[in-house]
Amino acid sequence: MKEIKHALILDNQLIADNIYKMTLEADGIAREAKAGQFVNLYCKGEAKLLPRPISICEIDKDRGRITLVYGVVGQGTKEFSTLKAGEKIEVLGPLGNGFKIDESKAKNIIVGGGIGTPPLVELVKQLKGEKEVYLGFRSQSILLEAFKVYGANVHVATEDGSEGFKGNVLELLKKNNAKGEIIYSCGPKPMLKAIAAWAKENEIAMQVSLEERMACGIGACVGCVCKIKEKDELDWQHKKVCKDGPVFWSDEVVWDD
């Protein structure tokens, strides 16, 4: 059973509008963590009892550090944004099941949308072969250079056309006639659903990291269930995104629920 521990904040900086990057000294978590997993961060205020699940952006096992990138969307994440280097924060992790990296694939397509982009950085760092990264944002992009550092070709789509291709990330995939042996993705469910349909049409295996609202983050409250159909089975069952996921194969997910 994992325990909540105090982690030292090494850095916590604003990197885009309402988007922060926090680096924690968390040796135990860094040692165990895999690409696509997340941690629970805990607020100090008694009125904010539920933890906030935050995806792990990067893992530094040698120095015992993890990097988190999060958006300020409520009181909890607003509190996190005020924390300074040298302070400590309660953290639990690593949690969930991450990406299943297939090293036999020579051509990888990685697709991220908005704040679903951060967990793909560690994934790209670990992937072998060609890495074509497609990222979609409403306007302002994040983490482009991080992907390039790890040898990825980065393609950007913005809905307002302020950067890269004007449109959504699926339109960009189609425009570029993207080719690959496997797709790894994270982002809002409508985006994942659309790209899963495109992947099926093109006979490309795809893993999706689902973004569901979580309460406990450890599978106790069943607040983040999704419908999953095992391969070759007709019926589906409820599975917990926080414990059984957040990563699933796209053809397992029952999208029309």
**In this model, does residue 213 exceed pLDDT 60?**
no
Q: Tens digits of per-residue pLDDT, 69-94?
A: 999 998 899 999 999 999 999 999 99
Q: Give a yes or no: residue 132 inside a domain.
A: yes
Give the Cα separation of 30 and 47 in Å (integer): 29
The mean per-residue pLDDT over the stretch 229-240 comes to 63
Is the residue at 53 inside a domain?
yes
Distance, CA of 8 to CA of 26 (rounded, Å): 7
The answer to whether residues 37 and 85 belong to one domain is yes
What confidence category does residue 216 fall into, taking pLDDT thresholds of 50, 70 and 90? Answer: very low
Same domain, residue pair 63 and 12: yes
- Average pLDDT of the residues of the chain: 90
- At residue 10, the pLDDT reads 98
Q: How far apart are CA 171 and CA 212, in angstroms?
A: 24
Which of 36, 58, 92 terminates a domain? The answer is 92
Taking only the tens place, the pLDDT of each residue in 21-50 is: 999 999 999 999 999 999 999 998 754 678
Q: Is residue 171 part of a domain?
A: yes
* Percent residues over pLDDT 70 in the chain: 85
Q: Domain of 63? A: 5-92
Say if residue 123 is in the same domain as residue 207. Answer: yes
User: Could you tell me if 83 and 138 lie in one domain?
Assistant: no
- pLDDT at residue 210 in the model: 87
Cα dihedral sign, 6-81-41-253 = negative
The mean per-residue pLDDT over the stretch 46-56 comes to 80
pLDDT of res. 172: 98
If asked whether residues 13 and 87 sit together in one domain, one would say yes
- Residue that finishes a domain, picked among 92, 117, 152: 92
Q: What is the pTM of this model?
A: 0.91
Number of domains in the chain: 2
- Domain-located, residue 242: no
**Which residues is 38 bridged to in the sheet?**
55, 95
172 membership: H or E segment, kind and range: helix 169-175
Both 168 and 191 in one domain: the answer is yes
Give the model's pLDDT for residue 48.
65
Give yes or no: residues 111 and 135 share one domain. Answer: yes
* pLDDT for 47: 47
Count of H-run helices and E-run strands, the chain: 6, 15
Residues 6+ apart with CB under 8 A from 165: 155, 156, 157, 158, 171, 172, 175
- What is the reported pLDDT for 188? 93
User: Is a pLDDT exceeding 90 seen at residue 234?
Assistant: no
In a shared domain, residues 62 and 148: no
Residue 190 lies in a domain: yes
For the stretch 117-151, what's the b/e string if a residue is b when 16 or more beta carbons lie within 10 angstroms of its beta carbon?
bbbbbbbbbebeebbbbbbbbeeebbbbebbeebe
Instruction: For residue 174, tell me if it sits in a domain.
Output: yes
Provide the residue count of the chain. 257
Do 55 and 150 reside in the same domain of the chain? Answer: no
For residue 94, whether the previous peptide bond is cis, meaning omega lies within 30 degrees of 0, is yes
Q: Are residues 111 and 162 in the same domain?
A: yes
Residue 224 domain-assigned (yes or no): no
User: Do 118 and 69 meet the contact criterion of CB atoms below 8 Å apart?
Assistant: yes
Adjacent-strand bridge partners of 65: 25, 60
Interval 157-168 mean pLDDT: 96
Contact 219, 240 (CB under 8 A): yes
Smallest CA-to-CA distance from 29 within 77, 86, 95, 74 is with 95
Do 114 and 201 lie in one domain? The reply is yes
pLDDT in tens, 94-133: 999 999 999 999 999 999 999 999 999 999 999 999 999 9
Q: Residue 64 falls within a domain, yes or no?
A: yes
Asked if 166 and 87 sit in the same domain, the reply is: no
CA 174 to chain centre: 23
Q: Say what the pLDDT of residue 231 is.
A: 62
Domain final residue pick, 92, 119, 146: 92
**CATH assignment at residue 173:** 3.40.50.80
- CATH number of the domain enclosing 58: 2.40.30.10
Q: Which residue has the higher pLDDT, 163 or 228?
A: 163
The mean per-residue pLDDT over the stretch 230-254 comes to 72
Q: What is the pLDDT of residue 211?
A: 72
| H or E segment to which residue 32 belongs | helix 27-32
